[in-house]
């Protein structure tokens, strides 16, 4: 995979684009069994299993589970700026940014788009972009929040992790209508193409997010998209579509050391 490689005892996908500790988990390396959760489920199963799996994920990134930020995700464009004083707080949002070291920013996905962002001035971000978050511009919100912490758009490097690609993301006319009405919808219709079946379309979420990042001033060469489709490769990744909802959750995580 161009620019992405697997690393360590716990297989994580790492982007060559980002030079701080980060990674996207796969299904491998955890303790969960059954109900589509095998094995590295980071959010759906029993509290005990999820905690052990998260501990392993944090440790593979050189971090500690007690410094992990993980929100209740609400398919919004809300990105929160966090410091160590926010550890333990309950968050309802779909992204985090920080300029503090040792804080592990995470997002949970199983087809949705995980985006990790890095500026070498010492600002990082993590974003969960489902289609609603994508078309309401969560990628744009994340870049704005990073700039307010001292980052500059042309310096930001991003990795778009494994997610559902257009090959498997068939949508219908109500979806297209909802995109049209969304804040960034008119910019993004070009990434929805007709499928063979009448009234069906394919939506390209990773390319939509790439486009929004470039609109925010991120250079195209600084955006790295993982070519893996979570639904095509459901043996490697959790996929909501491929499993008809019977699946665990993966994480993208990033931490400044």
Q: In which residue are the tokens 């440790």 written?
A: 59
Phi-psi region of 150 (alpha: psi -120 to 50; beta: other; left: phi over 0): left
For residue 242, the minimal CB distance to Zn ion (Å) is: 8
- Our finding on whether 228 is near Zn ion (CB under 5 A) is no
Q: Which stretch binds Zn ion (CB under 5 A): 13-21, 50-58, 86-94, 230-238?
A: 230-238
Nearer to Zn ion, 117 or 205 (CB): 205
Binding test (CB under 5 A) with Zn ion, winner from 32, 98, 222, 231: 231
Catalogue the long-range contacts made by 192-201 (C-beta closer than 8 Å, 24 or more residues apart). Answer: 193/166, 195/170, 197/170, 199/172, 199/173, 200/170, 200/171, 200/172, 201/170, 201/171, 201/172, 201/173, 201/175, 201/176
42 closest CA partner among 57, 62, 61, 59? 57
Of 154-193, binders to Zn ion (CB under 5 A) are: 165, 167-168
* Tokens read off for 59: 């440790």
For residue 229, the minimal CB distance to Zn ion (Å) is: 3
From residue 67 to residue 106, the character string flagging contacts with Zn ion as x (rule: CB under 5 A) and all else as - is ----------------------------------------
SS (H, E, C) 148-193: HCCCCHHHCEEEECCECCCCCCEEEHHHHHHHHHCCCHHHHHHHEE
Of 49-68, binders to Zn ion (CB under 5 A) are: none
Binding test (CB under 5 A) with Zn ion, winner from 182, 229, 251, 256: 229
For residue 168, the minimal CB distance to Zn ion (Å) is: 3
* Tokens read off for 44: 């759906």
Size of interface with Zn ion, in residues (CB under 5 A): 6
Binding test (CB under 5 A) with Zn ion, winner from 65, 149, 189, 232: 232
For residue 164, the minimal CB distance to Zn ion (Å) is: 7
253, 29 Cβ separation under 8 angstroms: no
* Tokens read off for 257: 């050391």
* Tokens read off for 217: 């001033």
For residue 44, the minimal CB distance to Zn ion (Å) is: 22
For residue 80, the minimal CB distance to Zn ion (Å) is: 31
Q: Which residues bind Zn ion (CB under 5 A)?
A: 165, 167-168, 229, 231-232
């Amino acid at each position: 995979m161009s620019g992405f490689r697997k690393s360590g005892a716990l297989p994580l996908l790492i982007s060559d684009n980002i030079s701080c500790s980060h990674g996207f988990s796969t299904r491998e390396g955890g303790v969960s069994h059954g109900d589509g959760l095998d094995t590295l489920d980071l959010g759906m199963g029993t509290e005990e299993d999820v905690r052990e799996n998260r501990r392993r994920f944090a440790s593979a990134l050189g971090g500690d589970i007690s410094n992990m930020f993980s929100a209740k995700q609400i398919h919004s464009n809300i990105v929160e700026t966090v410091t160590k004083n926010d550890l333990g707080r309950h968050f309802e949002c779909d992204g985090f940014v920080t300029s503090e070291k040792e804080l592990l920013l995470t997002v949970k996905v199983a087809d949705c788009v995980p985006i990790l962002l890095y500026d070498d001035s010492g600002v990082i971000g993590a974003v969960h972009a489902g289609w609603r978050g994508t078309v309401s511009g969560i990628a744009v919100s994340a870049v704005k929040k990073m700039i307010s912490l001292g980052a500059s758009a042309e310096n930001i490097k991003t990795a778009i992790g494994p997610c559902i690609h257009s090959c498997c993301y068939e949508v219908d006319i109500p979806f297209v209508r909802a995109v049209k009405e969304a804040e960034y919808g008119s910019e993004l219709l070009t990434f929805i193409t007709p499928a063979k079946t009448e009234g069906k379309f394919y939506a390209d979420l990773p390319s939509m997010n790439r486009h929004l990042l470039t609109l925010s001033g991120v250079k195209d060469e600084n955006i790295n998209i993982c070519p893996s489709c979570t639904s095509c490769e459901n043996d490697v990744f959790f996929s909501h579509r491929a499993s008809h909802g019977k699946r665990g959750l993966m994480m993208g995580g990033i931490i400044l050391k």
